[in-house]
Chain A
Amino acid sequence: MAEHSTYTPSSGLEKWVDERLPIVRFAKEHLMDFPTPKNLNYWWTFGAILALMLVIQIITGIVLAMHYTPNAALAFDSVEHIRRDVNGGRIIQGVHAVGASMFFVAVYIHMFRGLYYGSYKAPREILWMLGCLIFVLMVATAFFGYVLPWGQMSFWAATVITNILGAVPVVGEPILQLLRGGFAVDNPTLNRFFSLHYLLPFVIAAVVVLHIWALHVPGNNNPIGVEVKSSRDTVPFHPYYTMKDLFVVVLFLIPFAWFVFFAPDLLGHPDNYIPANSQVTPAHIVPEWYFLPFYAILRAIDFNILFIDSRLGGVIFFGASIVILFFLPWLDRSPVRSGAFRPMFRPFYWLFVINFIGLAYLGAAPAEGIYVLLAKICTAYYFAYFLIILPLLSRIETPKPLPVSISESVLGKAHA
């Protein structure tokens, strides 16, 4: 993979450093010269956007922690203090809160790109699973962060979500008390959630390093899913993809900035401007938009399954909807990676995308009437896609002929 590497220490000092800690060589080989398929489309730019989002969240978060007070009596006011009194606090808090949403926009696009182009298939299974692990860590981090302003939505999100663990038989209740540090969500809960919210982003950063390491062993997948065969199929990461990523980052920052400057609360809920009250639940509680599809799955199981009651059943399906992603490389056995060459796969894939958006809609809808039935149907399709459709398609589908190489697909047969 080093065919583009051109690092030769020029000065005596560089040579001296290179023999002792070849960090400059490492950076040049992996951040600049890394051979990257030359046919990557714009869907491949979200990895860089995600790296940027992690940095933005960590920097704004560290700054916010200098003004925030993780105490049940003071937390709500301290967030208002940040927004009203702290120099530039209105924008910094806005960037952090909107940033969480933009982070999830990017991660969903990144994951659906992987699903379409078969980026989870051999030899990239560990790369995919590390990505799934990052997603789980992101979900936990976002949840802990949402509790910190200690408004009504914060408090009841903490109550409802920790109660999910209480559904586990036998050990559920002790674990619940251990997690909350009390019999109900209260000051000890807020305090530890702040601690964990500060910790997890650094764990994410560590797993991101492993994710990129696992990416740089086989190299990038690409839109045709045919492996790199020669140096004619690749270009160096810098300047070709650094510039392309930078261009998309600028585009991505436009809606981001619009939300921060003009509608920082548009993606949140007005109820979170009521201080937390353990005696009254808001009339209509919904999680943040990025959790809605999974929340819909949780609610869809309102019936007992054999000896499993409805509450535990919901929790099992909710957990399984994320855990199943880890097994995807072994569920989809089709040797063809890219959806572009899989005529039967494509309609099911797009139906899966629509179904996922449908689940998000149903997660926000009241749990009554037709919505309950639709949530069950969408949940069934979510699982059927992974457990029935993908395994079956890999047996019965006849894929379209693949190009011989990336070069051929880009330049035509004459140049292959």
Chain B
Amino acid sequence: MLPGRLACPGGGSLMLKRTGISALATEAVKEGTRRDFLYVATGAVAAVGVAGAAWPLINQMNPDASVLALATIEFDLSGIAEGESVTIRWRGLPVFVRHRTAQEIEEARAVPMADLKDPATDEERTKPGHEQWLIMLANCTHLGCVPVGESGEFGGWFCPCHGSQFDTAGRIRKGPAPTNLVLPPYEFVSDTMVQIG
């Protein structure tokens, strides 16, 4: 490129202009000038503006109103006989509702705390007066697969994906899952009606 073509409106070549600016800048570096302040202030306002504009574009990915609207459900337990379990949907997640047998409850209570990776008593995992009902999220705490019921070495659940095993209280006993199956927030509205969420 020819310097002559880049002649500036004020006259003189670009080369000369550059020299002039750098000479001025050398003096300005010693102490902050008004120009430096304006430069930093403009940059800061621009950064805030960009962040402010970016946030809605990111936040639109968060769960929307229609997803959040499904946060609470009521479920009638009367149709589940002892020894049966069903999987229901809450917030798009599968939830196990198991009507445990007396033997299963006994097995769960007999486990010493020292044997547990994530210690929790059977009482802590159920509601008082409703010990036969075990209600928990059906996603394995490892990577989210749905474990198979009434299987595994501990008579509870066995996750086919990576081999985690849970006992009759849904507690992790063996395998890569770090914690027990998660209990959703729920309460008994009546003896046969439960509200989840």
A230 in the interface (beta carbon within 8 A): no
Q: A284 — which chain B residues lie within 8 A by C-beta?
A: 160
Q: Is B119 among interface residues, defined by CB-CB distance under 8 A?
A: no
Q: Are A163 and B144 in contact (CB under 8 A)?
A: yes
Among residues of A, the one whose C-beta sits closest to the C-beta of B179 is A309
20 extra interface residue pairs, beta carbon distance < 8 Å, beyond A183-B91, A310-B178: A160-B145, A160-B161, A163-B143, A164-B143, A166-B144, A177-B63, A178-B62, A184-B93, A188-B61, A188-B67, A278-B94, A281-B159, A282-B160, A284-B160, A285-B145, A301-B176, A310-B176, A311-B176, A311-B177, A311-B178
B58 proximal to A (CB < 8 A):
yes
B161 partner, pick from A164, A166, A182, A281, beta carbons under 8 A: A281
Contact B138 A279 (CB under 8 A): yes
Complex contact B58–A311 (CB within 8 A): no
Q: Is A192 an interface residue (CB 8 A)?
A: yes
B145 contacts A181, C-beta separation under 8 Å: no
The interface residues of chain B, by DSSP majority, are classed as loop
Name the residue of chain A whose CB is nearest to the CB of B177.
A311
A386 to nearest B CB, angstroms? Answer: 24
Q: Tell me the bound Cα distance from A187 to B179 in angstroms.
A: 28
Cα-based distance from A160 to B163 in the complex (angstroms): 14
Which 4 residue pairs of A and B lie closest in terms of their CB atoms, listed nearest first?
A184-B92, A309-B178, A281-B145, A183-B91
With a cutoff of 8 Å between Cβ atoms, the chain B residues found around residue A282 in the complex are: 160
Contact with A along B60-94 (1 / 0, CB 8 A): 01111001000000000000000000010101111
B124 to chain A, nearest CB (A): 20
The answer to whether the Cβ of B12 comes within 8 Å of any Cβ in the partner chain is no
Question: Which residues in A have some Cβ–Cβ distance to B below 8 Å?
Answer: 156, 159-160, 162-164, 166, 177-179, 181-184, 186, 188, 192, 278-285, 299, 301-302, 309-312, 314, 366-368
Provide the B128-150 mask, 1 if CB < 8 A to any CB of A, else 0: 00000000001101111111100
A178–B139 Cα distance when bound, in Å, is 19
Of B58, B145, B159, the most chain A CB neighbours within 10 A belong to: B145
B175 close to A (CB within 8 Å): yes
Nearest-CB distance from B140 to chain A (Å)?
Answer: 8
Q: Measured between C-beta atoms, what is the minimum distance from B57 to chain A in Å?
A: 12
Contact of B61 among A163, A164, A179 (CB under 8 A): A179
CA distance A309 to B117 in the complex (A): 11
Asked if A181 and B67 make an inter-chain contact with CB atoms under 8 angstroms apart, the answer reads: yes
| Smallest CB gap from A166: residue in B | B144
**Could you show 8 A-B contacts with beta carbons less than 8 Å apart?**
A159-B144, A162-B144, A163-B143, A178-B61, A182-B63, A188-B67, A279-B87, A310-B178
Residues in chain A near residue B163, CB distance under 8 A: 366-368
What chain B residues lie within 8 Å of A160 (beta carbons)? 143-145, 161
Least distance between B138 CB and chain A CB atoms (Å): 7
Using CB atoms, name the residue of chain A closest to B90.
A183
Pair A192/B92 contact, Cβ less than 8 Å:
no
A311/B142 in contact, CB under 8 A: yes
A184 nearest CB neighbor, chain B only: B92
Contact of A186 among B92, B141, B162 (CB under 8 A): B92
A183 & B93 in contact (Cβ 8 Å cutoff):
yes
Interchain CB contact under 8 A, B138 and A299:
no
* Given A183-B67, A279-B87, A314-B176, also A285-B161 (CB < 8 A): yes
Which residues of chain B are near A278, meaning CB under 8 Å? 89, 92-94, 146
Other-chain residue from B58, B142, B145, B177 in contact with A156 (beta carbon distance below 8 A): B145
Residues of B within 8 A of A163 (CB): 142-144
Asked whether A159 and B138 contact (CB < 8 A) given A181-B64, A283-B160, the answer is no
B contact residues around A188 at 8 Å (CB): 61, 63-64, 67
